[in-house]
Amino acid sequence: MEEGKLIVFSAPSGSGKTTIVRHLLGIERLNLEFSISATSREKRGNEKDGVDYYFLTTEEFKKKIKNGEFLEWEEVYRDNFYGTLKSEVERIWTNGKHVIFDIDVSGGLRIKRKYPHETLAIFVKPPSIDELKIRLKKRKTESDDKINMRIAKASAELATAPLFDVIIVNDDLDKAFQEAEKLVDNFLNTENL
């Protein structure tokens, strides 16, 4: 089986990475498929297992960690795990596609370390922390406490931006779409080093 490439998008919550990833998934010639993460958290709203996430119990998640079934994983909050199953990447590569991730900063950097030549790691940066706060409030999905927690986390995440291959500042969504598309296109059309 020939392995494809890995495209990682990481950013603080509210930076626009999910919107950019969805845009790229709609471009057929890029031949991308989304990597569905596993989580031990409860389903929210209309989320579906195997579509939005692979929902596992905390015990199932810990067993898969012990068995080495994750490419990367993290305990975000106590007993609240997120991770990428190796089987998910293998499934996508078997389908002859490249894998695109919408993943937290530490998970993205772990993938880059494991597959340095096959991975393009892109950090999506908001124009400012103030703008990030405005975007999170506009979503109307979380309490002020939760938003403040995300903003505090964003400062630490922004400090990791230089560790990524490329930084896209999302101050204009159309421009960010074009930049992301060009970066991914160029990366997919170059040979691994």
Residue with tokens 């400062």: 155
Tens digits of pLDDT across the chain (193 residues): 358 999 999 998 878 899 999 999 999 999 999 999 999 998 988 999 999 999 999 999 999 999 999 999 999 878 889 999 999 999 999 999 999 999 989 999 999 999 999 999 999 999 888 888 887 788 777 788 888 877 888 888 999 999 999 999 999 999 999 999 999 999 999 875 4
Q: Is residue 36 part of a domain?
A: yes
In a domain, 131, yes or no: yes
Flag whether 193 is in a domain: no
Residue with tokens 């067993």: 63
CB atoms within 10 A of CB 164: 22
Identify whether 123 is part of a domain.
yes
Residue numbers of the domain that contains 72: 6-188
Tally of domains in the chain: 1
What CATH number is given to the structural domain containing 137?
3.40.50.300
Residues 86-117, buried b or exposed e (16+ Cβ, 10 A)? eebbeebbeeebbbbbbbbbebbbbbbeebee
DSSP annotation of 163: G
> Of 98, 40, 50, 122, nearest to 73 (Cα)?
40
Question: Cα separation of 120 and 169, whole Å?
Answer: 16
